[in-house]
Amino acid sequence: MESFASSLSKLTGESTLLYQEIARKVEKTKGIKTINFGIGQPDLPTPQRIRDEAKVALEKGYTAYTPALGLDELRSKIAEFLSQKYGDKIIKDEIAVTPGAKTALFLAFLAYVNPGDEVILFDPSFYSYAEVVKLLGGKPVYVPLHFDQGKGFYYVTDELSSKISPKTKMIVYNNPHNPTGMTFDADLSKTVAEISQERKIVLISDEIYDYFVFDKNFWSVLQTPSWRDNVIYINGFSKTFSMTGWRLGYIVARKEVIGKMGILASNIYTCPTSFAQYGALASFDSFAQVKEMIDLFRRRRDVMYNELSGVKGIKVYKSSGAFYMFPDFSEVLGAGGMDSKSLAVKLIEEAGVVTIPGEVFPERVGKNFLRLSFALGEEKIKEGVSRMKLFVEKVLSS
């Protein structure tokens, strides 16, 4: 029973959920009501029309298996929607519906990564990318994102190019970006698409936050005329339609790639949940609610930025996408002799504020940062930052 697969030893097992668990223990033992900036999901309910359609599907008994790649109706709807959005004729056979975007990512890695292959990730990045690469025997190779308080986070083209080797199989690009809250400029997105295509490298583009864009125009890799040559596009319903628990994502790739995904899907999970897919069919009629949610999150973003800007000892950039801010706490960490993990724990235990340490998002760039989500009400944002300010002032004056 203890002879686990050797690949498991390569995984850290740490995720954002660890700090949620610490918060639950603090609330229980100390009676402190925490303010949760660690949450990675919208706090609004799934639009009513989507919920209603799922109920109708249940009442009609639509509870059997669906095709491994998802309902034909849903695949066609996604293809039609993306074709209209990005001006290309995407077809149903280029779509795979999956049980969440994480599963979509896993299928993409599983389809391409062999032991010894190198996968280029940006540092910091969503923690699951590196974990799955390691699980499959691949090697994460990191390109640092640079921070400028005036313009946010960016990568340097020469640094990306220098990381490419004969072993490079894949580049993973996330835009808008978790954890920084950055929406990368079109030039940066076009450059990574061009480099990957010129060097014949698979490009995974994770665009799960594509509707959470506040100040910039968003450019998708699906706008690259020859994206079918090497792109695997990942998206889903979780963020845009506040459907995190429904577990529905999707992949866009050329027909031959999707065929391989179908083989993997049928052997791993059989199919996505039937009635959830019927509910998702109604999501494309719910964009009025999506717009309202994005406007709400823009206001929350502004409140968080204004509040954090008044905290001495941290540097903050007004994020332009997703629903995160990623302030630099270098001065606080230095004054307190802490790393970001210990700071996150102390904020929970002493201030009742949940954040996510930048070290969770590999590899080194995030070590002086904390991720704060603004997926909660404005008064809670103000209260949470106020608590943080008192804690920071205490650390800086000690």
What CATH number should be reported for the domain holding residue 13?
3.90.1150.10
In this model, does residue 19 exceed pLDDT 80? yes
Distances (CA, A) of 284 to 70, 77, 196, 237, 365: 16, 8, 32, 10, 38
Point out the domain boundary residue: 258, 285, 312.
285
What pLDDT digit, counting tens, does each position of 252-301 carry? 999 999 999 999 999 999 999 999 999 999 999 999 999 999 999 999 99
Q: Which residue from 187, 170, 259, 182 is spatially nearest to 223, judged by alpha carbons?
A: 187
Same domain, 102 and 241: yes
Same domain, 300 and 168: no
What confidence score (pLDDT) does residue 1 get? 61
Task: Give the amino acid at 395.
Answer: V
Same domain, 27 and 104: no
CA angle 199, 202, 208 (to 5 degrees): 130
What confidence score (pLDDT) does residue 11 get? 80
Whether the Cβ atoms of residue 216 and residue 181 lie closer than 8 Å to each other: no
Residue 59 lies inside a defined structural domain of this protein? no
Distance of alpha carbon 339 from alpha carbon 336, whole angstroms: 9
Same domain, 343 and 276: no
- 133 lies in which domain range? 64-285
Point out the domain boundary residue: 231, 254, 285.
285
Same domain, 350 and 297: yes
Residue 1 lies inside a defined structural domain of this protein? no
Give the count of domains, the chain: 2
Q: What are the start-end ranges of the E strands in 44-187?
A: 95-98, 118-123, 139-144, 146-148, 152-154, 168-174
Strand partners, 47: none
Out of 14-28, 278-292, 301-315, 374-388, pick the least confident.
14-28
Residue 50 lies inside a defined structural domain of this protein? no
| 275: its two tokens | 């009635």
Reading across the β-sheet that carries 324-325, which strands appear in turn? 324-325, 370-373, 356-357
Residue 54 lies inside a defined structural domain of this protein? no
Residue 58 lies inside a defined structural domain of this protein? no
What pLDDT digit, counting tens, does each position of 318-338 carry? 999 999 999 999 999 999 999
Number of CB atoms found within 10 A of residue 162's CB: 10
What confidence score (pLDDT) does residue 278 get? 98
Residue 239 lies inside a defined structural domain of this protein? yes
